[in-house]
Structure 1
Amino acid sequence: MKKNLIEVLIVEDDSRIAEIHQRFIDKIDGFSVIGIATNYQEAVELFEIVKPQLVILDVYFPDMNGLDFLKWIKDNSTTSNVIMITASKEIESVNQAIHYGVFDFIIKPVIFERLKNSLIRYANYSKKVSNLQSKSAYITQGEIDSLIGKNIGVIEDQSQFPKGIDKLTLEKVLIAIHEESNGMTAEHVSHEIGVSRTTARRYLEYLVSEGKVLADLAYGTIGRPERVYLINKLS
């Protein structure tokens, strides 16, 4: 097994859905499913044995409430995080999940891109925390804001965007740029997310204007220099 993989425990009473979640996660680099629990006893036993960094958790079980297990996790671990994937749409469930510190809350049926977005944001968050811990025992206000207030991929309501800028496409562009530390050209982004080069450039320039992305010139051996776009780590 590769080193530095984020180990994931799936807690889901429907084994077919759990398998779908596992297949989705297996497609995303940097993650490894190390166990599946279908009831409370299995969940507790597996959690204590494998000590996962991330738990994918449902709300409804025949023998427990997933929100109670979420609370149990937070009471018994300072390092494990939780993404809830559930058919529950009640505002009270969402409110409790947020109160107990859930990293994300996804409604079933799960769309692969939505789960991928969440896992990439978690991987970025985890990497930031690790880097900060290796630097110092203390943290600046800007670093705190970066961790909890401005996670990459979190885009607000569609109504805030100008004509020609779509929320979902913008999220895809952000994710693509964030995954490439050396930056990407508009052409590379267009191939990555399946849009035209012109469309990719329009979204990238919008992100530059918002301060989320930086633009620089890359001088090759042939032809004119190209604009290269990188995530603004200070935004």
Structure 2
Amino acid sequence: MKVEVMVIEDDARIAEINSRFTKKIDGFEVVAIATSGAEAIELLEIIQPQLVLLDVFLPDMLGTDLGRVIRKSYPDIDIIMITASSEVDIVGDSLRNGVCDYIVKPVTFERFKTSLEAYQKRLEKLKTTKHLTQEEITALWSLSRQDSHLVEEDGAPKGIDPLTLNKILEFLLNVAEEGITAESLSKQSGVSRSTARRYLEYLISQKKVYAELVYGNVGRPERRYFRFQS
């Protein structure tokens, strides 16, 4: 029997990539794609997959909040986070929610495959064995941790191009006090929204910018990025 997978990702292009990656791995089947938290909750009432591939920044809620909903209502569904966020509070929240793995965008197929195959091995082990040794338990916990940090020789993560990074930094020099969203930066700089968000999250890790959740008039959280004032 194949592992049924739901992809929860607001960027249609990335959702399609994650879906194609999943289909290329034996033993997995994508049964649904949701582009918002509300849509995911609605689909989960009908389809209860074995595994959810979950983004953090959804248009109507944080993926970590949705993860808590899934954990409470569907405790048998497992979660792998796939996100541009590498902030400690988001990672820590995900760990406390019991996610199986945490993959930072941009995602390579090798990293994606390692994660899903490790998850598959854990499932098989837990279904076929009644008692585990300490060594087997340790191995189960460490399966998906291999190759989790792929970097270029100059120390920058794969997918971070110096020219694009400098271009985005130039735009950020003119950011007003109210900050900027990834969508706004995308329109101004000409890069895709997912690319803008990826570079902004990278700049957070480099202490160049910081982010805050700002609630708009309709109550939906909006992630805004701000430059550190010199």
TM, length-normalised to structure 1: 0.59
Pairs aligned (count): 150
Contact persistence 1:12–1:37 (CA under 8 A): yes
Q: 1:16 maps to which residue?
A: 13
Q: 2:27 maps to which residue?
A: 30
Residues 1:40 and 1:152: Cα distance change in structure 2 (over 3 Å): closer
Amino acid aligned to 1:110: V
Flag structure 1 segments of 5+ consecutive residues without an equivalent.
159-235
Residues 1:155 and 1:110: Cα distance change in structure 2 (over 3 Å): closer
Give, in angstroms, the shift of residue 89 of structure 1.
1.7
Question: Matches of 1:48 and 1:98 in 2, distance apart?
Answer: 24
Give, in angstroms, the shift of residue 40 of structure 1.
1.6
Question: Matches of 1:156 and 1:13 in 2, distance apart?
Answer: 23
Q: 1:147 maps to which residue?
A: 140
Give, in angstroms, the shift of residue 146 of structure 1.
3.7
Task: Give the secondary structure class of the aligned counterpart of 1:113.
Answer: helix
The percentage of aligned residue pairs carrying the same residue is 45
1:6 is the counterpart of 2:3? yes
TM, length-normalised to structure 2: 0.60
Give, in angstroms, the shift of residue 151 of structure 1.
2.5
What RMSD, in angstroms, separates the aligned Cα atoms of the two structures? Answer: 2.1
- The Cα offsets for residues 40-73 of structure 1, whole Å up to 9 and x where unpaired, read as 2210111221111100000001111100011111
Residues 1:117 and 1:12: Cα distance change in structure 2 (over 3 Å): same
Question: Matches of 2:82 and 2:134 in 1, distance apart?
Answer: 31
Question: Matches of 2:87 and 2:71 in 1, distance apart?
Answer: 22
Question: Matches of 1:29 and 1:156 in 2, distance apart?
Answer: 21
Q: 1:95 maps to which residue?
A: 92
Question: Matches of 1:94 and 1:156 in 2, distance apart?
Answer: 14
Amino acid aligned to 2:117: I
Larger Rg over CA atoms: 1
Q: 2:102 maps to which residue?
A: 105
Residues 1:152 and 1:90: Cα distance change in structure 2 (over 3 Å): closer
Contact persistence 1:121–1:153 (CA under 8 A): no
Residues 1:130 and 1:12: Cα distance change in structure 2 (over 3 Å): same
Question: Matches of 1:157 and 1:52 in 2, distance apart?
Answer: 28
Give, in angstroms, the shift of residue 157 of structure 1.
9.0
Contact persistence 1:40–1:64 (CA under 8 A): yes
- Aligned counterpart in structure 2 of residue 43 of structure 1, from 40, 47, 59: 40
